[in-house]
Amino acid sequence: MTAEVATLGQLVRRRQPWLEWAQTFFALMERDARVLRRDFVPFLLRTAMQPLMFVFVFAYLLPKIGEGSRTFGDILVPGLIASALFFQGIQAVALPLVQEFSQTKEIEDRVMAPLPVAGVAVEKIFFAFLQALLSALVVFPLAYTIPLSRPHLHIDLLVLLTVLPLAALVSASLGLLIGTVAGPRQIPLVFSVIVLPVVFLGATYYPWAQLSSLRWLQVLILVNPLVYMSEGLRGALTPQYGHMQYLAVYGGLTVGAAVCTYLGIQRFVSRVLS
């Protein structure tokens, strides 16, 4: 009986670090959620402005004056959701992380919490993951209701519910990687030279298959994770216009998420401990 009690006590003690880590993880999540609630209006404006203006001009204004296609809104919906999710996932991690490392030094407080350093990085990815999903919920009604002709969606719920989380994870982990590599002076350059070209060459405003006449470009942009986000959401929402094969979509998103998460966490731990 005494041996059984001792064994039970050892198991409890062995599990205590995991319980403590979980409590710390959710405490950090709560802290970030409070900051997001305080800045929720700027979050909405930052998320909605670019897709709002793009939909208004290209799917409402131009068709209204006879200069655009009324079916362009069908093609825009998946791409705009993908680009909003991509931008928000990156911004939610990269911009605060750059400030925490260089200006506020808040990262020193976070890593002193009873949680492994890698766990702090995972918390940042997870919170940005949730913000990216929230941005998709914000953009979808805009992209669906504003076009002059209501988009014709044929929703595949299974594809939608699997592509969205994978896409959000890719953008959040890429944001962690960018935030640990770039400094305050490099961030504007990163968004101008890397992020914006990635968006415009991410099959957001046109199906990937339509680049067949530019085969070199069609192959080159396969390194762009946004291509797989856009094509996956195109398959989930507007499959009638064609999309990349699902094997390539899920493969590209899975590889992108794994590589960015691994490199981002490794870089985060290295920078904290250096």
pLDDT at 67: 53
Q: What is the residue-averaged pLDDT of the chain? A: 81
> How many domains does one find in the chain?
1
Whether 152 has a pLDDT exceeding 60, the answer reads yes
47-70 pLDDT, tens digit per residue, is: 777 777 777 777 777 677 665 555
Q: Is the predicted pLDDT of residue 216 greater than 50, yes or no?
A: yes
Tokens found for residue 172: 């959040």
Domain range enclosing 184: 2-273
Over the range 255-265, which residues count as b (16 or more CB within 10 Å of their CB) and which as e?
ebbeebbebbb
Residue 11 confidence class, pLDDT cut points 50, 70, 90 = very low
Of 187 and 91, more confident: 91
Identify the pLDDT of residue 252: 95
Residue matched to tokens 């609630």: 37
Phi then psi for 153, rounded to 5 degrees?
-100, 140
The one-letter amino acid code at 118 reads A
Q: Is pLDDT above 50 for 1? A: no
Is a pLDDT exceeding 50 seen at residue 112?
yes
Any alpha helices (H) in 39-183, and if so which ranges?
Answer: 40-55, 62-64, 72-102, 106-111, 117-145, 157-181
CA angle in degrees (0–180, nearest 5) for 129-168-23: 20
**Helix (H, G, I), strand (E, B), or coil: what is residue 40?**
helix
What pTM did the predictor assign? 0.83
Give the model's confidence band at 169: pLDDT under 50 very low, under 70 low, under 90 confident, else very high: very high
pLDDT in tens, 223-267: 999 999 999 999 999 888 888 999 999 999 999 999 999 999 999
Q: Are 167 and 82 in contact (CB under 8 A)?
A: yes
The predicted pLDDT at position 103 comes to 66
Residue-level pLDDT at 255:
95
Measured CA to CA, the distance from residue 113 to residue 90 in angstroms comes to 24
